[in-house]
């Protein structure tokens, strides 16, 4: 990345600007402003991840850069987090979004603000800027949303296709840890009393989320897909193919009535100017182009840029820690694209198993239908090479070689390709099947199989069969009764090379990405078809600017970190485990002296023959210190299950120096109604 130290305007900074809400709660904001520029538009990032330490390294490289181009960048700690007052109760609450609207109104009224406000963010911040736009606060004029979702139930970290994600538990453990840290005593003299109050009120959210197994009002709140017509604020949406929020960009571009554009690159769950796999691109320059058009009214033609720009990945060897992906940028003036046509392939028992249609309608040709019947009952440890829901970097967090999981799956392979096959969009899979259990799910992986047998996951999709007729009113599967189901495989942009094969791999398990069904289900599949988005006329159609940013934060490494990721099998007990140790080390901020450190361990274990052996244990440690002051918190969480219940336990402990000042235990059971 090209580090810039000079900008059109000098930047002045306020480390702790007070924004006092109408109920008296004081939010803490870090503000970068263009000196001498007069009243300028404000750009708000509003998240719980602690501006004083948590997101500071990325904040300094982004917000100072944008401010130097004639803006006021405002990074606010949400209520109950970082250096702000109040208590946090859940994610994307009515209170959170009401606070966001009030902050926007406050910013617009400041003498240094022109009255126009933009909102940006990644992940949580990407979510709530869309959700705030949905509420239509008058001063909000544009949004830049990265790695976000339009549907909190069907396409977030809790459920996917109605299946309970392992990350629902994992994210609950993360937030138990993240929200346990106090404000910085240098900014909050009342830090200790506030900290103890936070700890006492700390929610254990994973059971709450796991209990809501249908798309109810809780999940509809904050899901902008409920009424796209309310999205009247211009949106620039970003996503990454190595992230699991890759569907949002296409949905926004297709459905939002306001000016909207989307860009999807090869990236993990990071901002595109620093993300891997490369190529990283000039996210900040493109964001500035958006802000200039919609916050300053500059006629720069940004509204005429392509509606949908996607990096089309090319076939190459699987690599769970890829630093770079070969590919090219495709630019679509409209989405859906007129260059995408639908091609149907049929699942069958004939050679290859995935073939072009030979019948005008229905799942199968008569030839394939005769004698076609296949059982899908996969071992519980299938999925160990799936990677993280939202990988953050190069620590083998992306999908690895799928060949070992393919060997455990039921696979349908297409013919060897004589020419490249370009795919752009979402595939749709239809299956005719029956189940011997009332609770079951099916997973489909779309893979690129090379001549050497290695397998790259292009995209995946899944369906909890209780949700076969919709997400709002699930019902158990009728045992032994054949039904027709259909679901989407995630958005993709991918070019398969000649000599490769396209594969559909079906499974009834996907650990630890999905929590297993209570009993090992056998699905009898008797037909199916795959509807593919085939793209034609593709070329290198866009050259994005190179990545730029302001200078990195001034810091000292006190203790380096280390990460390991292992798959282990106990040859006596038969248990297969994924074990992650992620020690981020300890750092000292040389600007304000705060020392921070973080360590995490994850254990995901299961017996291949027993879904009730599934067990997840996560431990997080947070460390803060300055001089003689030091605090530490430890969050421990465990999830297990019986045939009738999910059990989610947790423990939160806090120390001030060597003295334990707080300890609380949680132990909750959740009925297994549809998972």
Summarised one tens digit per residue, pLDDT across range 442-501 is: 999 999 999 999 999 999 999 999 999 999 999 999 999 999 999 999 999 999 999 999
Across the range 262-288, mean pLDDT stands at 98
Task: Specify the pairing of strand 595-607 against strand 562-569.
Answer: unpaired
User: And the tokens for 293?
Assistant: 């058009």
pLDDT at position 351: 47
pLDDT at 382: 98
Rounded CA-CA distance 457/398 in Å is 10
CA distance 617 to 602: 6
Joined tokens for residue 179: 């929200």
- Token readout for 287 is 């964001």
- Closest to 1 in 3D by CA, of 45, 77, 61: 61
The answer on pLDDT for 349 being more than 80 is: no
Kindly tell me if the per-residue pLDDT of 365 is higher than 90. no
In the prediction, which pLDDT does 352 show?
A: 56
Residue-level pLDDT at 339: 97
Whose CA is closest to 203, among 48, 19, 24? 48
Given a contact cutoff of 8 angstroms between Cβ atoms, the answer to whether 332 and 339 are in contact is yes
* CA-to-CA separations, 503 to 199, 242, 449, in angstroms, rounded: 49, 19, 7
pLDDT band at 356 (very low <50, low <70, confident <90, very high): confident
Q: Distance between CA atoms of 141 and 258, rounded to whole angstroms?
A: 11
Long-range contacts of 250-255 (CB under 8 A, 24+ apart): 250/308, 250/335, 250/425, 250/426, 250/491, 251/150, 251/225, 252/145, 252/150, 253/307, 253/308, 253/335, 254/335, 254/336, 255/150, 255/225, 255/228, 255/231
> pTM for the full model?
0.96
What is the rounded distance in angstroms from the CA atom of residue 289 to the CA atom of residue 348? 50
How far is residue 135's CA from residue 257's CA, in Å, rounded to a whole number?
A: 15
Q: Identify the H or E element spanning 504.
A: strand 501-507
CA pair distance 515, 162, nearest whole angstrom: 11
Mean pLDDT value across residues 238-247: 97
Q: How far is the CA of 104 from the CAs of 42, 484, 507, in angstroms?
A: 9, 48, 47
Q: What is the pLDDT of residues 514-533, one digit of tens each?
A: 999 999 999 999 999 999 99
338 Cβ neighbours under 8 A, 6+ residues apart: none
80-116 pLDDT, tens digit per residue, is 999 999 999 999 999 999 999 999 999 999 999 999 9
Three-state DSSP at 597 gives strand
Cα–Cα dist 477/671, whole Å: 17
Q: Are 61 and 162 in contact (CB under 8 A)?
A: no
| Spatial separation of the C-alpha atoms in residues 499 and 165, rounded to whole Å | 35
pLDDT higher than threshold 70 for residue 640: yes
pLDDT at residue 359 is higher than 90: no
Of 399, 485, 404, nearest to 440 by C-alpha is 485
Q: Residues 336, 163, 432, CA angle at the centre, nearest 5°? A: 70
Count of C-beta atoms within a 10 Å radius of residue 612: 16
> Can you give the pLDDT at residue 384?
96
> Containing H/E element for 163?
strand 163-164
Nearest to 45 by CA among 54, 37, 36: 54
Residue 567, exposed/middle/buried by CB under 10 A (0-12, 13-18, 19+)? middle
Contact 631, 643 (CB under 8 A): no
Residues 124 and 49 sit within 8 Å (Cβ to Cβ): yes
Q: Give the residue carrying structure tokens 């996951």.
A: 457
Contact by Cβ (8 Å): 403, 343: no
Partnered with residue 616 across adjacent β-strands are 604, 639
The tokens of 74 are what? Answer: 């405002």
For the segment 622-648, the average pLDDT, to the nearest whole number, is 98
CB atoms within 10 A of CB 189: 10
Tokens of 381: 């440890």
- Residue 539, classed as helix, strand or coil, is coil
Q: What residues are paired with 410 via a beta bridge?
A: 506
The per-residue pLDDT for range 294-326, each reduced to its tens digit, is 999 999 999 999 999 999 999 999 999 999 999
Mean pLDDT of the chain: 96
**Averaged pLDDT, 349-373:** 55
Query: What does the DSSP assignment read for 354-391?
Result: EE---SSSSSS-HHHHTT--EEE---TTTTTTS--SS-
Distance CA 358, CA 354 (A): 12
pLDDT at 370 over 60: no
> Sign of dihedral through CA atoms 224, 293, 546, 493?
positive
pLDDT tens-digit readout, 589-600: 999 999 999 999
pLDDT beyond 80 at 350: no
For the record, the structure tokens of 45 come out as: 């990032």
Whether 645 contacts 638, CB under 8 Å: no
Q: What are the structure tokens assigned to 672, written together? A: 């297994």
Per-residue tokens: 267: 């990236």
Residue 360 scores a pLDDT above 80: no
Which pLDDT does position 125 carry in this prediction? 97
Q: Give the model's pLDDT for residue 369.
A: 42
Q: What are the backbone angles phi and psi of residue 603, rounded to the nearest 5°?
A: -125, 125
- Distance CA(436)–CA(465), nearest Å, equals 12
Helices (H) and strands (E) in the chain, counts: 11, 32
DSSP alpha helix (H) spans, 342-472: 366-369, 403-408
Q: Which residues contact 632 (CB under 8 A, 6 or more apart)?
A: 621, 622, 623, 624, 654, 655
In three-state secondary structure terms, 218 is helix
Q: How far is CA 41 from the centre of its chain?
A: 29
Interval 158-172: pLDDT, tens? 999 999 999 999 999
> Which of the four pLDDT bands, split at 50, 70 and 90, describes residue 241?
very high
pLDDT tens profile 258-272: 999 999 999 999 999
Is the omega angle on the peptide bond into residue 336 within 30 degrees of 0, that is, cis?
yes
């Amino acid at each position: 990345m090209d580090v810039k130290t000079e900008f059109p305007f000098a930047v002045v900074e306020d480390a702790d600007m007070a924004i006092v809400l109408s109920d008296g709660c004081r939010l803490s904001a870090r503000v970068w402003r263009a000196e001498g520029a007069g009243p300028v538009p404000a750009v708000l990032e509003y998240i719980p991840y602690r501006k004083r330490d948590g997101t500071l390294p990325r904040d300094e490289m982004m917000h100072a850069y944008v401010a130097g181009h004639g803006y006021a960048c405002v990074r606010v700690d949400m209520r109950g987090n970082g250096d702000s007052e109040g208590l946090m109760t859940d994610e994307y609450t009515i209170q959170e979004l009401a606070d966001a609207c009030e902050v926007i109104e406050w910013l617009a009224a400041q003498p240094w603000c022109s009255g126009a406000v933009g909102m940006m963010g990644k992940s949580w911040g990407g979510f709530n800027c869309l959700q705030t736009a949905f509420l239509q606060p008058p001063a909000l004029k544009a949004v830049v949303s990265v790695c976000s979702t339009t549907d909190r139930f069907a396409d977030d970290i809790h459920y996917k296709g109605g299946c309970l994600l392992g990350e629902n538990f994992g994210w609950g453990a993360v937030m138990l840890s993240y929200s346990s840290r106090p404000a910085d005593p240098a900014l909050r003299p009342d830090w200790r009393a506030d900290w103890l109050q936070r700890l006492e009120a700390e929610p254990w959210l994973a059971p709450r989320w796991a209990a809501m197994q249908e798309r109810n009002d809780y999940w509809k709140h904050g899901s902008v897909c409920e009424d796209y017509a309310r999205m009247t604020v211009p949106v620039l949406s970003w996503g990454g193919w190595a992230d699991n929020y890759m569907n949002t960009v296409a949905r926004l571009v297709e459905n939002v009535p306001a000016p909207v554009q989307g860009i999807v690159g090869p990236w993990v769950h990071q901002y595109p100017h620093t993300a891997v796999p490369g190529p990283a691109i000039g996210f900040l320059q493109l964001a500035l182009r958006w802000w200039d058009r919609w916050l300053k009214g500059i006629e720069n033609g940004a509204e005429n840029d392509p509606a949908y720009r996607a990096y089309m990945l090319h076939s190459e060897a699987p690599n769970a820690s890829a630093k770079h992906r070969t590919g090219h940028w495709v630019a679509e003036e409209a989405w859906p694209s007129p260059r995408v046509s639908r091609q149907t392939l049929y699942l069958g028992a004939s050679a290859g198993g995935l073939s072009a249609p030979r019948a005008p309608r229905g799942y199968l040709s008569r030839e394939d239908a005769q004698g076609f019947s296949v059982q899908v009952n996969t071992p519980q440890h299938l999925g160990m090479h799936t990677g993280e829901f939202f990988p953050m970097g190069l620590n083998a967090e992306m999908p690895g070689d799928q060949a070992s999981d393919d060997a455990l799956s039921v696979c349908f392979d297409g013919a060897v390709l004589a020419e490249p096959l370009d795919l752009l969009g979402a595939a749709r899979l239809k299956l005719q099947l029956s189940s011997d259990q009332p609770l079951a799910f099916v997973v489909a992986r779309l893979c690129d199989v090379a001549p050497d047998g290695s397998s790259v996951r292009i995209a995946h999709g899944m369906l909890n069969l209780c949700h076969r007729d919709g997400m709002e009113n699930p019902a158990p599967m009728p045992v032994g009764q054949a039904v027709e189901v259909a679901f989407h495989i995630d958005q993709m942009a991918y070019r398969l090379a000649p000599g490769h094969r396209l594969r559909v791999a079906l499974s009834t398990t996907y650990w630890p990405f999905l929590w297993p069904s209570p009993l090992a289900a056998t699905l009898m599949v008797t037909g199916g078809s795959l509807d593919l988005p085939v793209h034609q006329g593709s070329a290198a159609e866009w050259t994005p600017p190179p990545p730029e940013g302001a200078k990195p934060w001034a810091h000292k490494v006190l203790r380096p970190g280390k990460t390991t990721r292992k798959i282990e099998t106990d040859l006596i007990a038969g248990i297969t485990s994924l074990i992650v140790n992620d020690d981020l080390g300890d750092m000292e901020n040389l600007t304000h002296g705060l020392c921070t450190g973080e360590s995490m361990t994850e254990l995901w274990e299961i017996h291949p023959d027993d879904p009730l052996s599934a067990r997840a244990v996560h431990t997080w440690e947070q460390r803060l210190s300055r001089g003689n002051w030091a605090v530490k918190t430890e969050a421990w969480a465990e999830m297990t299950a019986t045939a009738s219940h999910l059990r989610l336990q947790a423990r939160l402990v806090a120390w001030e120096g060597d003295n334990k000042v707080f300890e609380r235990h949680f132990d909750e059971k959740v009925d297994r109604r549809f998972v």
